Amino acid sequence: MTKPYEVNPAGELTIGGVTATELVQEFQTPLYVYDVSKIRQAMQGFIQVFEAANIDYVVSFASKAFATTAMYEVAAQEGIHLDVVSGGEISTALNANYPMAHVSFNGNNKSYAELELALDNGLGTIIVDNLYELHMISELAAARGIVQNILMRITPGVEAHTHEFIQTGQTDSKFGFDVNSGQAQTAYLEAQADANVNLLGVHAHIGSQIFDIVGFEAAAEKLVDIVHEWGFEPAVINTGGGFGIRYTDEDEPKPTSDFVTAIINKIQTKTAEYNMPMPAVWIEPGRSIVGPAGTSLYTIGSRKDVPGIRSYLAVDGGMGDNVRPAMYQSNYEAILATNPSAPTEQVVRVAGKYCESGDVLVWQQALPKTQPGDVLAVLATGAYGYSMASNYNRNPIPAVVFVENGVAKEVVARQTYADIIHLDRHYV
């Protein structure tokens, strides 16, 4: 089986052509590192599938997975659109000089101020989640004398095979207009009658880290069925993202091209059955673009051996820089940076430094012999690590480094203690 990492002739882990130990010497740990070439390859892989299908499309990076100025700059270079979910992500796109016409805005409770920011900066498409929001958009667009492009997010009643906390397409969800109750059709009729908005089409997102193509096919088919029932010929059908990636050997993801091809084929087949025009197909991959490209580097510290139970190997990061294991019981693979292929001599639980018993990065990992000061690399941490990071226990958030063609550049500076306390105000 091909290893999901690269080594140099000396057997050391390399990222983007630079050894992990060199990166640690320059930037310290904990450290988020991205191989930019892998990000570009993933983006181009999606584009190539659509180009081969010869249909109209948009590949929109779901930036909640990893939102930084540098990431948005790479997306612009590769011709990828952005999907944002907050005023902060909109502001980051503006800071990156990203073309705002290529941005879509998702979310179930967009504020008035966030919508003002979006409309005042020419944001391309707002994905409407509820009637309250539709009314705000109409009011704001009318006041500005513009017609705002929108998609309607609907919950198609499709449940993905994933963790229950990251299922979003089923009927019982905080997201989108419910179809079964008639709520979605009511919103559709209101949007069509509103001169301040231009309803481009419909949107659905069935969940995250999904390996089963059937769920995406079912959602695509359901979306076409729904718009046909309404008598609506959409210009756009957006099937969201959620394509699964490899975290450990237990994961067996299909190529992302298989998912996209299946979605395209299903929409083509269903629209042909109904004698409808083929709409543009939009997708929103996030994790599948940045997840495999990211590696988190840590320095090993203390160890605790509990006879007959397990051994804990502690590192200088943890749930503050990767909360997914604590939140979702997610698992990762860790390797020794200096010699990933060395024979394993121990099985440990990789724990963090935070004051929580659930602060775990890897639940069970076979490793070579280690000692304090060694560099441990946790693989495939490019999605939802930095973006969900916190200052819990008042620990600084690590730096982010991009590496490409043997050149490393810090694109987000490491927080300092001064950064953490600079918004504090004295009470006495």
Given a contact cutoff of 8 angstroms between Cβ atoms, the answer to whether 275 and 231 are in contact is: no
> Closest Cα partner for 192 from 145, 230, 240, 229?
230
Give the tens place of pLDDT for each residue, 314-351. 999 999 999 999 999 999 999 999 999 999 999 999 99
Catalytic machinery residues:
355
Rounded distance, CA 135 to CA 190, Å?
10
Amino acid in the structure at residue 419: D
Given a contact cutoff of 8 angstroms between Cβ atoms, the answer to whether 244 and 253 are in contact is: yes
Q: Beta strand 103-105 with 125-128: parallel, antiparallel or unpaired? A: parallel
The pLDDT assigned to 2 comes to 80
Count the neighbouring beta carbons within 10 Å of the beta carbon of residue 1: 4
List CB contacts of 325: < 8 A, sequence separation 6 or more. 319, 331, 332, 360, 361, 362, 363
Given a contact cutoff of 8 angstroms between Cβ atoms, the answer to whether 310 and 348 are in contact is: yes
List CB contacts of 64: < 8 A, sequence separation 6 or more. 83, 84, 85, 89, 286, 384, 387
The pLDDT assigned to 173 comes to 73
Given a contact cutoff of 8 angstroms between Cβ atoms, the answer to whether 203 and 154 are in contact is: yes
**Strand partners for 148:** 197
> Closest Cα partner for 294 from 304, 306, 283, 286?
286
Helices (H), 256-347: 256-273, 287-290, 324-328
The pLDDT assigned to 171 comes to 59
Given a contact cutoff of 8 angstroms between Cβ atoms, the answer to whether 420 and 379 are in contact is: no
> Closest Cα partner for 263 from 282, 236, 244, 287?
282
The pLDDT assigned to 175 comes to 81
The pLDDT assigned to 160 comes to 60
> Closest Cα partner for 236 from 192, 297, 277?
277
User: For the chain, which residues score pLDDT lower than 50?
Assistant: 162-169
Give the tens place of pLDDT for each residue, 147-160. 999 999 999 877 66
Rounded distance, CA 384 to CA 408, Å?
22
Q: Structure tokens of 225?
A: 């069925």
The pLDDT assigned to 164 comes to 42
Rounded distance, CA 247 to CA 98, Å?
31
Amino acid in the structure at residue 44: Q
The pLDDT assigned to 1 comes to 60
Given a contact cutoff of 8 angstroms between Cβ atoms, the answer to whether 261 and 303 are in contact is: no
Amino acid in the structure at residue 13: L
**Strand partners for 129:** none
Q: Judge if pTM exceeds 0.85.
A: yes
> Closest Cα partner for 32 from 336, 344, 321, 341?
321
